Amino acid sequence: MIKRILAIVVISCVVATALGQVSIRDSSITTPMIYATYSYQFPGGDLASRFGSNSSIGGGFLIKTRSNWLFAAEGNFQFGSTVKNEDSLLVTISTPEGYIIDANGRIADIILYERGFSFFGMFGKLFPWVGPNPNSGFTLMAGGGYIQNKIRILNPDNTAPQLWGDYKKGYDKLNGGFALSGSIGYLFMSSSRLLNFSLAFEFIQAWTTSKRDVGFDTGKPDQKNLSSQFYGIKVTWNIPVYRRTPKEYYLY
């Protein structure tokens, strides 16, 4: 992963040098951008019965062309703290009161989280109808990729053998599969490399299948196909890679 990131950075610098000096105020330019992104998402479909809202952080690489076409590759890490139906998930290893007894004969401390990741390739178009320059405006993006999520089961002291090793995997509901993404937003580019951002509404449709043979909470094969959605607000901080036109100075 580190080698890939370094390769992207080197390629960006080479492309930027080839582009020469530009001024984004006067005309539309071709420029690569490295970016970091954060999204707050709400689940829909099958996953809405399993998880609550979640956050997503990540980064990517985007190229904006002179004709305002956009091409991007992006990876994200998803995390959330709301897991629904907790009592039924571990019911087969719990007491009638809903507690799990650890190896010391005490009540085990069990915490459940949502965890996941996604990778997308995307393309789109920028419409410079409103903005300070021809490189800012409304954006439409679409793409496809892979998404995966699960329930992270945490026993801080690791004292519950019922959730050691492969036993834990029987309860984590790991699933993954193909996903489509789409967004509508606004991209702002300024003369400063530090003040470049975008804000968008994003929608993700995912079709996933279980990655576990058996669900230990039911004792049956887990072969259900899931159709799920994520709706969210996405904020991106962009770092364009180009050489600015030097300021002109006049001596009298």
Tell me the CATH number at 176.
2.40.160.20
Q: What is the pLDDT of residue 228?
A: 97
Classify residue 182: in a domain, yes or no: yes
**Contact (CB, 8 A) for 67 and 125:** no
Q: What is the pLDDT of residue 132?
A: 85
Q: What is the pLDDT of residue 86?
A: 84
Q: What is the pLDDT of residue 20?
A: 42
Residues of the chain with pLDDT under 70: 1-24, 26, 193, 242-252
Classify residue 38: in a domain, yes or no: yes
Q: What is the pLDDT of residue 26?
A: 66
Residue with tokens 């985007």, as numbered in its chain: 62
Q: What is the pLDDT of residue 11?
A: 52
Measured torsion, CA atoms of residues 102, 107, 108, 114, in degrees rounded to the nearest 10: 140
Question: For residues 225 and 175, what is the distance between their CA atoms, to the nearest angstrom?
Answer: 9
Classify residue 78: in a domain, yes or no: yes
What is the amino acid identity at position 107?
A: I
* pLDDT (tens digit per residue) in 55-64: 999 999 999 9
Classify residue 40: in a domain, yes or no: yes
Structure token digits, residue 144: 């496809």
Judged on CB neighbours under 10 Å (0-12, 13-18, 19+), 224 is exposed
- Separation of first and last alpha carbons in the chain: 54
Q: What is the pLDDT of residue 63?
A: 96
DSSP 110-128: -EEEEEEEEEEEEEEEEET
Classify residue 250: in a domain, yes or no: no
**Contact (CB, 8 A) for 85 and 136:** no
Question: For residues 47 and 114, what is the distance between their CA atoms, to the nearest angstrom?
Answer: 11
Question: For residues 28 and 25, what is the distance between their CA atoms, to the nearest angstrom?
Answer: 8
Classify residue 7: in a domain, yes or no: yes
Classify residue 249: in a domain, yes or no: no
φ, ψ of residue 150 to 5 degrees: the values are -160, 175
Q: What is the DSSP letter of 159?
A: -
H helix or E strand, kind and range, residue 18: helix 2-19
Structure token digits, residue 125: 């178009």
Domain that residue 66 falls in: 2-244
Q: What is the pLDDT of residue 223?
A: 81
Question: Domain tally for the chain?
Answer: 1
Classify residue 251: in a domain, yes or no: no
**Contact (CB, 8 A) for 99 and 65:** no
